[in-house]
Amino acid sequence: MGRSAVGRVLALARDQVDDLARRSPARMALLVFAAIVVVMTGLLSLPVATTTGTRAPFVDALFTAVSAVCVTGLTTVDTATYWSGFGQAVILVSIKVGGLGVMTLASILGLAVSRRIGLTQRMLTASETGTTGLGEVGSLVRAVVVASVLIELVLAAILVPRFLDLGESVPAALWHGFFMALSIFNNAGFVVLDGGLVPYVGDWWLGLVVVVGTFLGAVGFPVLLDLWRHRRRPGRITLHAKLTLSTFVALLVITLVALVLFEWRNPDTLGALPVADRLVATLVHSITPRSSGLATIDVGQMQQSTLFATDAMMFVGGGSASTAGGIKVTTFAVLVLAIVAEARGDRDIEAFGRRIPTETVRLAVAVAFLGATLVGLSTLVLLSVTDFTLDQVLFEVISAFATCGLSTGITPHLPDSARYVLAALMFAGRIGTITLAAALAIRSRRRVIRMPEERPVIG
């Protein structure tokens, strides 16, 4: 096939994708994400992907692929011992693709093929990254790629010497350092260290990398870019960045206080550790519910009060257009501000000297309600097919929806039907709120004729 023929095929494919994107952006997101999951499932199904050289069961390959692409971290098999180097490399690529985001990846591919980003691609990426100016999407995509690679390289450069200092060989330290750097920044929750992170519960070096890397990945690229642009004039930071950072820090403090109150003296988690180890473990676990899912203590041994508090934090998740999941901290912030305004009798919802439009509040309600509905239905299904308790099932379901990856340890023991449910929930949790927001935003319209107003009784 000549170069001109290849060009025609690429042009035809691009036109078809552009047409689908124009008619149904949400459907395109579903198809692209599903295609990536299918490819990664096929690669993990190869015998070379396992350490034993045998083909992995389809449910395990699918579950791992979905978990990696959706940067969740829930696993049915041990990542460090079950998957071979090839299998772990497939997981790592899946994490990177999922972390960048489907819409951003589509724009990157379009930029590589045509050296430009079309209007439709700009609109799709804008819905993924939260950018309002279409002219900024091209620069934002480049900034996303450059920033993510630089941050991951810096994290790896910090981790590799630590693993060398712990006695690992140079190849092992390099592999563990780069894998964990990508897993931490993309909030993926996958660990390729024998025994997981529990043996490193008191390691301040590794613990601080987890905290900083999770924060950078979970606040969102628009926030990081906004902070960089206005680093000399912080007063010009956008409302989105201010809401994200303030809510993120507030939730971090609340989680920290809950861990100290409920787990500080629990002998099965923090209580048996030296004070210094307790501090670093508490700090790590105060930020992991944002979406990283990296645990240095046994989550299954936590108090029920701690599990419930963690459920709430995981459901909220991280920042919009970030590697984190959940309904997002800005959604939660808008809902809280709406409640406060209603309690005060204020006509407008305001924050940081800005008025939040009613359309944003309606969208936040829709996203939160969709998330709660998915969690509720999935919990009912899992309770009907398993013998686990409500607190265990609810924790696992919210972790899957919020693409967090924290687990009480029941996922490997779930029947295949329950695993398929969690896989579908991870998929829906990763792209569901994005596609819903995009679909509702596109369907926004102004009607010339409006119905008479009448208020029903509330409460």
* CA torsion angle 181 184 188 192 (round to 10): 60
Name the nearest CA neighbour of 362 among 444, 242, 457. Answer: 444
Cβ atoms of 426 and 403 within 8 Å: the answer is yes
- pLDDT top residue among 437 and 48: 48
Cβ atoms of 397 and 425 within 8 Å: the answer is yes
Parse the chain into domains and list their residue ranges. 3-442
Name the nearest CA neighbour of 13 among 120, 142, 110. Answer: 110
User: What is the average per-residue pLDDT within 48-76?
Assistant: 95
* Per-residue pLDDT tens digits for 392-432: 999 999 999 999 999 999 999 999 999 999 999 999 888 76
Cβ atoms of 405 and 73 within 8 Å: the answer is yes
* Per-residue pLDDT tens digits for 331-366: 999 999 999 999 998 888 988 888 998 888 988 898
* Per-residue pLDDT tens digits for 156-198: 999 999 999 999 999 999 999 999 999 999 999 999 998 889 9
- What is the rounded CA–CA span in Å between residue 182 and residue 153? 9
- pLDDT top residue among 137 and 89: 89
User: What is the average per-residue pLDDT within 385-394?
Assistant: 94
* Per-residue pLDDT tens digits for 250-265: 999 999 999 999 999 9
- What is the rounded CA–CA span in Å between residue 291 and residue 67? 13
* Per-residue pLDDT tens digits for 236-295: 888 889 999 999 999 999 999 999 999 999 999 999 899 999 999 999 999 999 888 899
Share of the chain above pLDDT 70, in %: 80
Res 452: pLDDT: 76
Residue 48 has phi, psi (to 5 degrees) of -70, -15
Tell me the β-bridge partners of 350: 355
The answer, yes or no, to whether residue 367 has pLDDT greater than 90, is: no
The answer, yes or no, to whether residue 442 has pLDDT greater than 70, is: no
The answer, yes or no, to whether residue 445 has pLDDT greater than 60, is: no
- DSSP 8-state code for residue 356: E
Residue 399 CB contacts under 8 Å (≥ 6 apart), including other chains: 72, 74, 293, 314, 405, 406, 407
User: What is the average per-residue pLDDT within 20-24?
Assistant: 57
Name the nearest CA neighbour of 425 among 458, 378, 370. Answer: 378
Name the nearest CA neighbour of 189 among 291, 101, 117. Answer: 291
- What is the rounded CA–CA span in Å between residue 331 and residue 235? 23
- What is the rounded CA–CA span in Å between residue 99 and residue 104? 10
